[in-house]
Structure 1
């Protein structure tokens, strides 16, 4: 099989605009006209809607306030460490108006995890929320960032985003927004988003403004946005439709697909700060949400949770699942629960600035188990272990050439060379592509787990485990889980003194395991905890060069899980 080409991009893509200039200030042939009464964002709790002019005004006011108060300027890094918030997008776009760069962090990170990100990106300002404030202040102090440079979306003892907006709106302009030179959007960094790539600790992916802009246009073309391809009631994305903004905005899925693509399409985003399933069902009913963008664990809840039977979900018109593969059996179940919905999957990654493939707008139901078809402008090849190209229906690593490709990893040439090779992006995913160009994710070749849709690098957990006094060597592998997709399990070689303690008192086995699990829980965000458990082994298998033979232990973990299920 030679290289596979997705459809050609049919329209031009501006390469001299920043992301807010594209989203807030410009028009495009694929962009529908949003009626003036249709809000861009809706607060989940209170139902307050924020329309286009208010979004633009708040973005400008915040940009001016940041310039006046903190002298934020070209290439300064603003780190957003917060749950979803009605002003989250404005904070991103305001930073971009000033020529700055945004790095979004998981609000569940602990102080050490946030400190790591602060140091990697060299942040000059943190925008957080009162619920994450103490962690933000602790990390800022450790990074040498003054506490007054930590601001909050809501009211607290710190200066608030709204106060900055009001200051910016009542003051004379303190900045001049720069228009990029022709082609500069392809090199001007907009985001430093964190990904584990194909291996190792999380790395800062440098994403230029052009990447999310072209990805939005790719999705709009593939999804036939603003095209009269079907009766109005059957068209997938229409101005006035309402989408659930429940996925975290710090994640590339929420950042590009929800915040930018959905606003481009004219949908209203219900901003949901924290996902709680029964409250989510209430939000769907309260706001008449028609579009659900989810990850597999959330789909599992719709299929299994007893509260679902109390709600009428016939108004859901679209369910899109991404971030991790969704099994065919779950698709079969969810179809019965949402009979009127178009249901399918998309596939992408941070290094691609979101989407690589998506299920067709011509299908009410995507191919069960399939990740969709290649987006416009994408070229793909499937590479076998020996470096030759696979044929149709043959497995191999998916490599793609995409217009939305990232620039590489910040200050990490070695990792960049491993993942970005001669214009090709190595996805690290083993796939099969059928003759009809449907993509199926078979396995992950990269050493990355997907827990509830989030990336977990085994090497990061192994480094944490080796800090535990009882651990001499370790290897972390995934085990399958019907809800989370995968869970981390640690194989551990104990140090000799611990082995002696256990020989004297077998009850030490449980105590040591509990201690190891607690050590990880104390140092890592919740989805990185060792929910798959800890198993003691005499030796960690390695090849002659010392590389962990992770697949050997993955197979052993699978056998252990199977054995326990039979007890």
Structure 2
């Protein structure tokens, strides 16, 4: 090794901890993902690509539909480079067809969560300038698309017929028993049937893509903390992260693997890990429209799938359900936890149910999204989010001074790499806040150990300052999760006349278990210092979650404020 490389590696302690065969500076493939998927479709057309509740789509069929949809977008809607097309779809075969079709036509995907309210969707579509929206004829989703169109936020709707995603018997049963759940779109000049567009068989014209300049996905973020901002992810950003994950997987995402997609594709984690990575490698994606425990167990039994990207609440549900046994999960080899911090107690509880390797990863929308991950072929370091992916650089910066901190010292995690966005759409002020000296600011506080393993402490915005001392909600949450009666916990900071701020814990108990506030405070006495001890412990039957199942603090802060107001 030459002196220059040795010096660079000393600044990247994680390289020495990389699993054998994985190289940090190996070339990153920035071929646009739609080209990779279409190549996989051509290479093995008879192989299974998509499984939706038993409805099957081969790679050959997928490729034909992507091209036909791209052709229709160009010929019927004038979609060209830079045209924003909104997708408001749950996990169904329509989503990947539409997603890759938009990219092949040269357009930019704007993901819309079908569970968002019409005002939230109005902001996203209006801000993005997305005149076309692809959606579904399930009434509760379609009525939002219809409202957006009537308000002028989108001009044209393309509507897929939900029963067409199902295998024949289920399709017939749904059409009879669930007919009332289906909308009746008034097809015409402004509303088109998804299937009719594909039946046209239009051939798409070539779309010249500059992977590093042209935007593949405009992904909106920040909806739970403020006005959503459109992160501009280029074709190269998206493809780079796929390449990085592929290298990190060390063969995990190749045949005969099967990936379960229960997380929604409109979320960046699932879009990349559950869809782009497996389909680009020619392996099947087993889709569920939403998380239901029975449906997930049925998928394991029917498909013998072996890879499960998940969020901690999903893993907790599997671990805590008494009727779920090791036999239900025997095909599972690797579970990848992302989207939120994985509590140590959930890790241990899951290990009692499954022998699968449980790897925690970390990312953010602005990084396409994966930044770090535990090894996927051998156990990682407990409580760590793993090591930076190939081609990814990290540093930690003191929250107050802005100076880079040393090994083991807490600071804000900042990122550089080919997966990092160019900025936010038409939002220069947000760009200034998002970057420091060319490094993406994550807003997460943590540190790196001497071997390069990354540990997160909490979000900067969730930090509670009590009497001048920093209190991290995660510390309190981890301590409470070790109590036998506690199933879920979420800690927020609230105004306090004496200390400035104080922690308050919201707790959901396990079914059939009981514990009082004094019980839990007594339990915490030797686990937390006096400043960290919650001011109040409030019990709830259910804790609020975001739309991907992540525990949410926003609603709890609002609830506590209302409670305080009512007490005055």
- Name the structure 2 match of 1:390: 405
- Name the structure 1 match of 2:434: 419
Distance 1:531 1:150, change over 3 A: farther
**Equivalent of 1:86 in 93, 97, 106:** 93
Over residues 138-161 of structure 1, what are the superposed CA-to-partner deviations in whole Å (9 max), with x where a residue is unaligned? 122223434x43423537525322
**Equivalent of 2:39 in 3, 25, 28:** 25
Whether 1:220 and 2:220 are equivalent positions in the alignment is no
Does the 8 Å CA contact 2:44/2:60 hold for their aligned counterparts? no
- Name the structure 2 match of 1:285: 301
- Name the structure 2 match of 1:445: 460
Does the 8 Å CA contact 2:133/2:145 hold for their aligned counterparts? yes
Q: How does 1:200-279 map to 2 (within 5 A)?
A: 200-225=226-251, 236-279=252-295
Over residues 8-36 of structure 1, what are the superposed CA-to-partner deviations in whole Å (9 max), with x where a residue is unaligned? 55543455x43211332379xxxxx9866
Over residues 475-496 of structure 1, what are the superposed CA-to-partner deviations in whole Å (9 max), with x where a residue is unaligned? xx9996966764889879xxxx
Deviation at 1:446, TM superposition (A): 3.8
- Name the structure 1 match of 2:197: 164
Distance 1:197 1:378, change over 3 A: farther
- Name the structure 2 match of 1:499: none
**Equivalent of 2:364 in 349, 353, 361:** 349
- Name the structure 1 match of 2:444: 429
Over residues 384-430 of structure 1, what are the superposed CA-to-partner deviations in whole Å (9 max), with x where a residue is unaligned? 13222222221111111111110111111011111123321111100
- Name the structure 1 match of 2:27: 12
What is the Cα-based RMSD across aligned positions, in Å?
A: 3.3
- Name the structure 1 match of 2:149: 140
SS of the equivalent of 2:457 reads strand
Distance 1:491 1:130, change over 3 A: farther
SS of the equivalent of 1:535 reads helix
Deviation at 1:210, TM superposition (A): 0.3
Does the 8 Å CA contact 1:4/1:381 hold for their aligned counterparts? no
Over residues 299-340 of structure 1, what are the superposed CA-to-partner deviations in whole Å (9 max), with x where a residue is unaligned? 11011123314952111111110011102221111111012x
Over residues 240-299 of structure 1, what are the superposed CA-to-partner deviations in whole Å (9 max), with x where a residue is unaligned? 222111001011101111111122344311111121122222222122221111001001
**Equivalent of 2:382 in 342, 345, 368:** 368
SS of the equivalent of 2:254 reads coil
**In structure 2, what is the Cα distance between the partners aligned to 1:315 and 1:537?**
47
Deviates more, 1:268-277 or 1:307-316: 307-316
Q: For structure 2, list consecutive stretches of 5 or more residues without a partner in the other structure.
A: 1-8, 16-22, 164-183, 465-472, 482-486, 497-543
- Name the structure 2 match of 1:40: 49
- Name the structure 1 match of 2:527: none
Distance 1:26 1:154, change over 3 A: closer
- Name the structure 1 match of 2:220: 194
Q: For structure 1, list consecutive stretches of 5 or more residues without a partner in the other structure.
A: 28-32, 226-235, 450-476, 493-520, 540-567
Does the 8 Å CA contact 1:136/1:150 hold for their aligned counterparts? no
Q: How does 1:456-467 map to 2 (within 5 A)?
A: none
Does the 8 Å CA contact 2:131/2:153 hold for their aligned counterparts? no
SS of the equivalent of 1:307 reads coil
**Equivalent of 2:71 in 64, 68, 72:** 64
**In structure 2, what is the Cα distance between the partners aligned to 1:204 and 1:315?**
38
Deviation at 1:178, TM superposition (A): 2.0
- Name the structure 2 match of 1:179: 208
Deviates more, 1:274-283 or 1:371-380: 274-283
**Equivalent of 1:297 in 313, 317, 324:** 313
Whether 1:96 and 2:103 are equivalent positions in the alignment is yes
**TM-score for the superposition, normalised by structure 2:** 0.73
Deviation at 1:130, TM superposition (A): 2.1
Distance 1:20 1:6, change over 3 A: farther
**In structure 1, what is the Cα distance between the partners aligned to 2:463 and 2:223?**
8
**Equivalent of 1:337 in 353, 357, 360:** 353
Does the 8 Å CA contact 2:257/2:306 hold for their aligned counterparts? yes
Does the 8 Å CA contact 1:491/1:534 hold for their aligned counterparts? no
Distance 1:256 1:216, change over 3 A: same
Distance 1:197 1:418, change over 3 A: farther
- Name the structure 2 match of 1:122: 129
**In structure 2, what is the Cα distance between the partners aligned to 1:192 and 1:415?**
15
Does the 8 Å CA contact 1:23/1:264 hold for their aligned counterparts? yes
Whether 1:154 and 2:168 are equivalent positions in the alignment is no
**In structure 2, what is the Cα distance between the partners aligned to 1:123 and 1:141?**
14
Deviation at 1:190, TM superposition (A): 0.6
**In structure 1, what is the Cα distance between the partners aligned to 2:64 and 2:72?**
12
**Equivalent of 2:337 in 298, 302, 321:** 321
Deviates more, 1:18-27 or 1:296-305: 18-27
- Higher relative contact order, chain-length normalized (CA < 8 Å, sep 6+): 1
**TM-score for the superposition, normalised by structure 1:** 0.73
Distance 1:107 1:484, change over 3 A: farther
- Name the structure 2 match of 1:495: none
